[in-house]
Structure 1
Amino acid sequence: MTQIRERTVLFADLRGSTALFETLGNAEATSVVTHTVNRVAQAVSECHGRLIKTLGDGLMAVFDAPRDGVHAAIRMHELLERVAAMGRQHGASSGLRALRMQVALARGEVVEMNGDCFGDAVNVAARLLDHAGDNETLITEEVLLGLPSAQTSRFRSLDLIAVRGRAEPVHVHVLNQAHHGDIAAATQFGEVVQAIEPDGIRLQWMDLDRVFDIESMPIVLGRSVQATYCITDGRVSRSHARIDWHGGSFSVTDLSYNGTFVRFSDDAEIVSLKRGSCTLHGSGVIGLGSPPIDATSPTVRFEVLHFADTEPQGLGLHHPRI
């Protein structure tokens, strides 16, 4: 029987499973991934949703109410954290600690047929996963409008984002929640000094030199003409990375399959981001798709700015343009 109903669609995708296959072998790693997905899927029934299908290392579910879908997303992250905590126990596989999850939700009319679901909301939720960083939950404006005020306050706007296969951009919001693993990764390659909050960030790739203030966030770096900062290089994904302002600092999140790489000085170690995030401080370079050691690779120089300074340092340019 075919029915058309208003639904909140949720897609969740498990990341980091590759490390399990490397350390445990195919058979055991498959068992661990399957167990993890099934464990996370418990959140669907707990939050009054319906599991449509599991997708290898991910799942799809639908909910009548947006708040139930958001509750399920939060619960999924909690359940995954319990699984990852097992990796910290003596004798457990270290690969468990690398598990991360991206969740995306969209709302709209859905065609329900033969136990599956189809429609624009399904496509948007599935493709929105490409824009989510590690342990992030992204929702569309339609989902946000269906939430009670107590829940909407937990989200911040990422503005309009171009979603693959859709002509019109989608207004996206991200769930604010602390991720201890992200904080460690963001600070282990350079000292982050607690000082006066910056006012903006400067980006330079070839002749494209722009300064963005806090109100301009987020900045999407990518090959798409709809990206905030368009880099016309075939090695760059359409939406490759995203720069956010949150908690008094700028951060960059990898959205690509080839990775994003950050180096804070010429002799510093390169931070490799695979769907992860890194706090940006001072100045340095961001490599898109390959480490910034190849002179031909697409590399964006950045400088975190305090507009009270008399002159930006580190990029060799004297007149930033806003």
Structure 2
Amino acid sequence: MTQIRERTVLFADLRGSTALFETLGNAEASGLVTQTVALLSQAVDDNRGDLIKTLGDGLMAAFDNPRDGIKSAMRMQELLLKSSVRSERLRYTHLQIALARGEVVEIHGDCFGDAVNVAARLLDHAGDGETVVTAEVVQGLTSAQKARFRSLDHISVRGRAEPVHIYVLDQGRGDAAATQFGEIVRSAAPEGIRLVWQDLDRVFDIDQMPVVLGRSTQATYCITDVRVSRSHARIDWQGSSFSLTDLSYNGTFVRFGAGGQTLSLRRGSCTLHGAGAIGLGGPPSETQAPTVRFEVLHLAEADRSPLLLQRGL
């Protein structure tokens, strides 16, 4: 029987499963992934959702209202966290979740429609442990639930002409976790960030966030190199600093200063401060890796910008 209904669609993807197959072997890894996905699906049943299907290392579900979908997503993140604490084998796995709401067509237990396509594509914009949702999902939440989401503004989604306004569930990561260094850099709040790759020299202010770096022509900062993913990395404004999140399969690497430490982001995030270089798919020290120079700007001091001086401006 075919039905057309307004529903909230959820996609969840278990990241790190490929490494499990490499370290544990096919049989043991398959059993562990299947067991983990089954555990996550309990969060769907517990929150009045319908498990549409499992997708190897992920799942698709649908809910009648956004509130139940968000409760399910939060419960999934909790279940995986608890499992990773109990099992060393799951220590490096992470969950990406995306939700969208709209009219769907239900046929023989499966769902089709724009909300399904958008939710599936939004997984490309979610970092490890992140839950991203559309504005339509946020509109259906309680005031307490809405307060936990931070706007990422409008983002171009592959296969869709109109940009999608998306939000991310605030995980409450402190500055120390975001920097991934033992030291926290604090200064007056920056006002913009400059990105330079070859002749592509642009300055973005905080009102233009987020900025997606990627090969797609729909990316905010398009880097036409085959080693770059369609949506490779995302720069967000976190209220007092710029945060860089890796969205790729090949990794994003950040070097602070001319010869400073290089930080490897594998679906993780870090706070950007000062000036440095972002390597896409490889460290900035590798000559073949596409490298974007960045500088966090206090616009009143832009005339002293190291990047400007390097370019002789």
Q: TM-score range by the shorter chain?
A: over 0.9
SS in 2 for 1:109: strand
1:19-44 per-position Cα deviation (integer Å, ceiling 9, x unaligned): 32233222222222111111111111
Count of residues paired in the alignment:
313
- The equivalent residue for 1:146 is 140
What residue number does 2:157 align with?
163
Aligned with residue 180 of structure 2, among 178, 182, 187: 187
Q: What is the one-letter code of the residue matched to 2:207?
A: E
Q: Which region of structure 1 is more displaced relative to structure 2, 38-47 or 233-242? A: 233-242
Q: Which moved more, 1:99-108 or 1:168-177?
A: 168-177
Q: Distance in 2 between matches of 1:176 and 1:269?
A: 28
What do residues 222-274 of structure 1 show as CA deviations (whole Å, max 9, x unaligned)?
22232221222232222211001115221111112222111113443432222
Deviates more, 1:59-68 or 1:28-37: 28-37
Q: Are positions 1:317 and 2:312 aligned together?
A: no
Aligned counterpart, 1:90: none
Structure 1: any 5+ residue segments left out of the alignment?
Answer: 88-92
**2:9 maps to what in 1?**
9
Aligned residue number for residue 225 of structure 2: 233
Cα distance between partner residues in 2 of 1:313 and 1:295:
24
Per-residue deviation, residues 164-216 of structure 1 (Å, max 9, x unmatched): 12222211111111358x9547323x733233222221111112222222222
**Who is 1:208 aligned against?**
200
* C-alpha spacing 1:320/1:186, structure 2 compared with 1 (3 Å): farther
Deviations 1:261-308 (A, max 9, x none): 111134434322222212112211001122212334321001112234
Residue 303 of structure 1 aligns with which residue? 295
Inter-partner Cα distance in structure 2 for 1:96 and 1:186: 24
Q: Distance in 2 between matches of 1:318 and 1:215?
A: 27
Partners of 1:14 and 1:38 lie apart in 2 by: 12
> What is the deviation of 1:142?
1.4
TM-score for both structures, normalised by structure 2: 0.92
**Alpha-carbon offset, residue 219 of structure 1:** 0.9
How far does residue 11 in structure 1 lie from its aligned partner after superposition?
0.2
Aligned to 2:240: 248
Structure-2 residue corresponding to 1:37:
37
**1:310 offset after TM fit, Å?**
6.3
User: Runs of 4 or more off by more than 6 Å in structure 1?
Assistant: 318-321
Root mean square deviation of aligned Cα? 2.3
| Aligned 8 A contact 1:202 1:304 in 2 | yes
For the 8 Å contact 2:176–2:183, the answer to whether it is kept is no
Q: Helix, strand or coil: the match of 1:38?
A: helix
Q: How does 1:20-35 map to 2 (within 5 A)?
A: 20-35=20-35
Which structure 2 residue ranges, 5 or more long, are not aligned? none
1:52 is paired with a residue whose SS is strand
SS in structure 1 of the partner of residue 59 of structure 2: strand
Which residue type is aligned with residue 102 of structure 1?
Q
Evaluate the alpha carbon distance shift between residue 310 and residue 242 of structure 1 in structure 2; reply closer, same or farther with a 3 A threshold.
closer
| 1:126 match | 120
2:255 maps to what in 1? 263
Q: CA deviation at 1:149?
A: 2.1
* Contact 1:211/1:320 (8 A) holds in 2: no
